[in-house]
Amino acid sequence: MGTGYRAPRWLPGGHLQTIYPFFFLRQRSPRYQRERWDTPDGDFIDLDWVDGPPVAPLLALFHGLEGNSASPYAAAVMHAVSRHGWRGVVVHFRGCSGEPNRLPRAYHSGDADEIDWILKRLNGRAAQAPLFAAGVSLGGNALLKWLGRERTQAARVVRAAAAISAPVDLMTAGDRLSRGLNLGYGDLFMRTLKAKSLAKLQRFPGSYDGEKLRRSRTLREFDNLVTAPLHGYRDTDDYWTRASSKSDLAHIETPTLIIHARNDPFLPGPYLPAAADVSPSVELDFPDGGGHGGFVSGPFPGNLDWLPARLLAFFAKHAATGW
């Protein structure tokens, strides 16, 4: 972080850090301009843009599970991008922009194929300016998987990347979401996931067992019934094993920052990758506080300034001179 950097004063508690922004630090979204893209397989995604000079760097942000451009972290990052004079875009995964997508498939933690075509198209929109990519939680894991899979090709598409609170070990994170205090977060996800999936079942009868879905209580059960079979995985164990990005980190060739709080309730310090697990292109930043994608700092009631500043400082090092 450089000479004179002072560690932030974190709001205490991993669980409090995680849930606090959604209830107490909601931010007004920037003035987005929405654009719809057709996908290669006949579906669509929606992208929310923050304008800037056409020669300015472009930062693409991939949200987390059931997130969107109004999520507190997304709004905070895009406000900072706008203040910095850059361009920004929040990429919505299928079905997350407020309108059901066209196909049975949705999105998942290992969706490197989706990341691939989106970033390649965004690279064309960036023109001669650098393209940066960041992903939060699920979006971070999918981005890391793409970076490790594509290696040199990824480095030709994006100048630098960052993953925030990415569950790089999905087996551990998924199981932790199914017990203890984390059950509350799992319940929040399950409410919208089940509602969307039951609505989709009316349009695509027989895609999965609706009665079992109604009885499901955990993400493990949901992924076994819906996510895994719809996206080419045998079951939850197969999905969580193959979609985890931890084994891909050693192959990343793009300058990449991984930010993850040691008190993250889903994937805490003991389960995080070590320096020996990642390539020389990867920088690890594991602050003691921050929870899961919260990173609320400063005196009470706190603010969401730390994460956008950390991201933009990292990306600015890799941008063209003058930005």
Predicted confidence (pLDDT) at residue 268 exceeds the cutoff of 70: yes
Least confidently predicted of 94-108, 154-168, 184-198: 184-198
Q: What is the pLDDT of residue 139?
A: 98
Selected residue with higher pLDDT from 309 and 9: 309
Q: How many CA atoms lie within 13 A of 247 on its CB side?
A: 8
Q: What is the pLDDT of residue 301?
A: 80
Predicted confidence (pLDDT) at residue 194 exceeds the cutoff of 70: yes
Is 137 an active-site residue? Answer: yes
Of 46, 111, 223, 264, catalytic = 264
pLDDT band at 182 (very low <50, low <70, confident <90, very high): confident
| High-pLDDT (> 90) share of the chain, % | 82
Least confidently predicted of 245-259, 260-274, 289-303: 289-303
Is 111 an active-site residue? Answer: no
Is 292 an active-site residue? Answer: yes
* pTM of the predicted structure, to 2 decimals: 0.94
Q: What is the pLDDT of residue 42?
A: 98
Positive/negative CA dihedral, 280, 286, 291, 294:
negative
Residues with Cβ within 8 Å of residue 257, at least 6 apart in sequence: 160, 161, 162, 163, 282, 283, 285, 310, 311, 314
Taking a C-beta distance cutoff of 8 angstroms, is the pair 246, 273 a contact? yes
Of 69, 109, 137, 297, catalytic = 137
- List, in order of start, the domains of the chain with CATH numbers: 14-168+245-316 (3.40.50.1820), 170-243 (no CATH)
Q: What is the pLDDT of residue 127?
A: 85
Q: What is the pLDDT of residue 15?
A: 79
**What's the distance, Cα to Cα, between the start and end of the chain in Å?**
18
Predicted confidence (pLDDT) at residue 17 exceeds the cutoff of 90: no
Taking a C-beta distance cutoff of 8 angstroms, is the pair 213, 222 a contact? yes
**SS3 category, 10:** strand
Q: What is the pLDDT of residue 6?
A: 58
Q: What is the pLDDT of residue 4?
A: 42
pLDDT band at 205 (very low <50, low <70, confident <90, very high): very high
Distance, in Å, from the CA atom of 47 to the CA atom of 68, rounded to the nearest integer, reads: 10
Of 63, 79, 231, 292, catalytic = 292
Q: What is the pLDDT of residue 320?
A: 67
Q: What is the pLDDT of residue 3?
A: 39
Distance, in Å, from the CA atom of 13 to the CA atom of 73, rounded to the nearest integer, reads: 18
Structure confidence by residue, pLDDT tens digits, 80-103: 999 999 999 999 999 999 999 999
User: Which residue from 259, 294, 271 is spatially nearest to 14, judged by alpha carbons?
Assistant: 294
Q: What is the pLDDT of residue 251?
A: 98
Q: What is the pLDDT of residue 2?
A: 40
